[in-house]
A and B are shown apart, each in its own frame.
Chain A
């Protein structure tokens, strides 16, 4: 800024108020996560529904086998987080657009954020603590 100050002697030190870049990053996140989700979700659907007999072979053992590999754990974890944040951010803008009263907007967003946190926490918990031996202990 030093040479700028010389260049523009009457320029305000801080141009306007320092605003946050949150909306910029959320806009960018929607595009990037959208592209990643196309690969992740279509890959997931292909594996689950089409490959090797599709949905009929899915059972406890199949899921246990997949989650034994850190690769599929990471795949499902990133799918969960990206889809949840992508969808949640989308709903946030929908609420901003359509809620007419500030109180409605506030409570709808609270409901949204709480459900997002619950689903993220539960999903992450299951992926990391899944025990393939669980059915044998009964």
Chain B
């Protein structure tokens, strides 16, 4: 497999045909179109394409590994667990925010054996450090601002804090968040220069606001009542579509709005 790149770099610098693993049976060649950006060289991002052998059962992350290990070692992206739990490898896959470790190639293949191009770009709205790697600090800053930890006053109970199954059910959905930023970086309000908290921060506030053991709901609701809080949500449902954990993000935001509106959790 060789690269068809827009840069002048020969493939052999980073990997040669000899160093590549044998192409497995049933593999098809797909074009991986990446939005590259090297802050030390480039003034702005540019597209680069690689031809990569892929099995239908491969995930997009396998293609990224192939590019990095055999074609161009300078490709930069984040991934840790590679199994949809750590939330490191959120990126735009064919323009939609997804985790690269959860999207299968068979779902992206063009119909009737036509050539397949898979477009990969960093998530929007956060500063790009290099290639697919973005600076997550603004995202985590908003997350920390909603106090995403248990707040209690008074004496601690002798044993555990008991909660009924029904009370647990109220915030069950929002406990699933893995902080991958798929939702926040899909939100058109978050893309602008303002400092909107973003869906993920509201989801994590929701997780504690509706927890019967927590006593900090008032503080968090006050924070989210701010000009940059829940009222900037336009219910476009991009966040709900983007969430790799299937959290009903927009519904959670609406529940926070309702709690503010009726002053009742």
Contacts and interface: CB of A to CB of B under 8 A. Distances in A.
B239 to A, nearest CB: 16
A100 B153 CA distance: 42
A71 interface: no
A16 B227 contact: no
B229 interface: yes
A26 interface: yes
A24 interface: yes
B154 interface: yes
Contacts of A16: 219, 222-223
Interface size class of A (residues with CB under 8 A): 20 to 34
Interface stretch (B13-21, B167-175, B186-194): B186-194
A97 interface: yes
B226 interface: yes
B154 A9 contact: yes
Nearest to B219: A15
Of A10, A27, A93, the most chain B CB neighbours within 10 A belong to A27
A8 B154 contact: yes
A7 interface: yes
B231 A15 contact: no
Contacts of B225: 19, 21, 23-24
Given A7-B153, A8-B154, A98 B222 contact: no
B189 to A, nearest CB: 6
B222 A97 contact: no
Contacts of A12: 219
Contact of B218 (A15, A17, A23): A15
B215 A96 contact: no
A28 interface: yes
Given A8-B154, A23-B231, A97 B261 contact: no
B260 interface: yes
Contacts of A22: 227
A11 interface: yes
A97 B222 CA distance: 22
Interface in B143-189: 153-154, 188-189
Interface residues of B, number: 21
A27 B194 CA distance: 18
A23 B257 CA distance: 11
B261 A8 contact: no
B222 A19 contact: yes
Interface string B215-255: 10011001101110101100000000000000000000000
Contacts of A7: 153-154
Contacts of B188: 97
Given A15-B222, A21-B225, A26 B154 contact: no
Interface string A11-38: 1100111010111101110000000000
A24 B154 CA distance: 31
B231 A24 contact: yes
B215 A19 contact: no
Contact of B194 (A19, A26, A97): A97
18 contacts: A7-B153, A8-B153, A8-B215, A9-B153, A9-B154, A10-B154, A11-B215, A12-B219, A16-B219, A16-B222, A19-B225, A19-B226, A23-B225, A23-B229, A24-B225, A28-B261, A97-B188, A100-B192
The 9 A-B pairs of least Cβ separation, nearest first, read A8-B153, A23-B231, A15-B219, A16-B222, A11-B153, A27-B231, A15-B218, A10-B153, A97-B192
Given A9-B154, A11-B215, 6 more contacts: A16-B219, A16-B223, A19-B222, A19-B223, A21-B225, A26-B231
